[in-house]
Amino acid sequence: MFAPAPFLLKDTSVSQVMTQVCIALVPGIAAYAWLVGPAILVQLVIATLAALLAETAMLRIQKKPLTIFLSDGSAVVTAWLIALTFPPLAPWWLVVIGTVFAIVVAKHLYGGLGQNPFNPAMVAFAVCIVSFPALMSQWPSVGLQLPLLDQINVILGLAPRVDALSSATPLDAMKTALKLGEGMQDVPALLANQDIYGNFAGRGWEWVAIGYLLGGLWMWQRKLITWHVPVSFIGAMVLLSGGLWLFNPAQFASPLFHLLSGGAMIGAFFIATDPVSGSTTPRGKLIFGAGAGLLAYIIRVFGGYPDGVAFAVLLMNLCVPVIDLLTQPRIFGMKDADKGGQA
């Protein structure tokens, strides 16, 4: 028997959607590999392999068709987001643990594709930063001139983890310095440190963030994402950071610094926009994005972790069912008030 109408279908599929998300990550990845170090490419490969293996195992156990679900690309997107948010020289097993946890626990134990209430990549980040705080906080200084082969050896555990590998992220460095300085340090002076900071934020990293921004704009143009989440995420972060910055520019960094630091851009365009774990209604997306932006700022500036995007997104994931329920849009023909009587 034939399938029912519509007989015409748009040329689209889950794997096309996921492939386009991966393509949108490419500018950020390119900047990352160029400015921070090509080791990230190795991490991407490790994470991808781990994700596909974990996905295969979980599909086997559930007796789901392998080819359809392996080729949907969702595991690859998760893997890439994990690799891009973990320290670039993190040991291979840390990336593998994060990825396997994301695929097995955060995705498949909740029912697989489309069923996970939490963003799997952010679950991986949260699990690892809680379990391995030291390793998750060791970021190489951007000026590190270590040959690629040596970097790979570090990742694979074949070379010792030297001191140069364990500096803080620019965001973390700023927070720590301000905290230790107890009001004696001021932001402009810290930003003058050309070893860590570039034109707007972390040296090198700022361009990675701009790469994500470009990829995100491309996704918006391709209608893979709507404007709601990125705009409200960025807007909320700018409002809060801008307010505090205007109030005390010596102790609070500028909105631009915050937008181009840490996970703000990848979070706004690639993580908070995850449709499965995010809000789906237009107003819900605005609330979700704004909540994630605010929480990310609060955690990264006042909290104990180097960045706040992961926890912010996870906390907002928790609120999604309620947000969606309370923000159902008015439907065609029922916009002017409730006199229609149909509830």
Q: Which residues bind another protein (CB under 8 A)?
A: 2-10, 12-14, 16-17, 65, 68, 72, 74, 112-115, 223, 226, 275-276, 278, 280-281, 324, 328-335, 340-343
Instruction: Report the residue number, 77 or 295, with the smaller CB distance to another protein.
Output: 77
* Share of the chain residues as helix, strand and coil, in percent rounded to the nearest 5: 65, 0, 35
| Sequential DSSP letters for 215-275 | HHHHHHHTTSS-SHHHHHHHHHHHHHHHHHHHH-TTTS--HHHHHTSTTHHHIIIIITT-T
Query: Residue 4 carries which DSSP code?
Result: P
Pick between residue 137 and residue 281 the one whose CB is nearest to another protein: 281
Cα separation of 52 and 170, whole Å? 32
Q: Least CB distance from residue 322 to another protein, whole Å?
A: 14
Rounded least distance, CB 216 to another protein, Å: 16
Minimum Å gap between C-beta 282 and another protein is 9
Residue 129: phi and psi, rounded to 5, are -75, -25
Measure the CA–CA gap between 54 and 36, rounded to whole angstroms. Answer: 29
User: To 10 degrees, the CA torsion angle through 303, 307, 206, 48?
Assistant: 180
Question: Residue 309: enclosing H or E segment and its boundaries?
Answer: helix 309-326
Ramachandran assignment for 201, one of left (phi > 0), alpha (psi -120 to 50 degrees), beta (any other): beta
d(CA 83, CA 86) in angstroms, rounded, equals 5
Helix (H) or strand (E) holding 47: helix 39-62
3-state SS class at 197? strand
Q: Of 109 and 156, which has the nearer Cβ to another protein?
A: 109
Q: Which is nearer to another protein, 16 or 248 (CB)?
A: 16
Q: To the nearest whole angstrom, how small is the minimum distance from the Cβ of residue 274 to another protein?
A: 9
Q: Which two tokens stand for residue 62?
A: 């559930």
- DSSP structural state of residue 174: H
The distance of closest approach from Cβ of residue 336 to another protein in the complex, given in angstroms and rounded to an integer, is 8
Nearer to another protein, 65 or 147 (CB): 65
- 272 vs 241: CA distance, rounded Å: 19
- When the beta carbons of 137 and 280 are compared against another protein, the nearer one is 280
Residue 59 beta carbon to another protein: minimum distance, rounded to whole angstroms: 12
Residue with smaller CB distance to another protein, 108 or 300? 108
Q: How many Cα atoms sit within 13 Å of 93 on the Cβ side?
A: 4
Q: How far is the CB of 71 from another protein (least distance, A)?
A: 11
Q: Which is nearer to another protein, 7 or 302 (CB)?
A: 7
How far apart are CB 224 and another protein at their closest, in Å? 8
Least distance from C-beta 323 to another protein, angstroms? 13
Residue 178 contacts residue 251 (beta carbons within 8 Å): yes
Q: Which is nearer to another protein, 255 or 278 (CB)?
A: 278
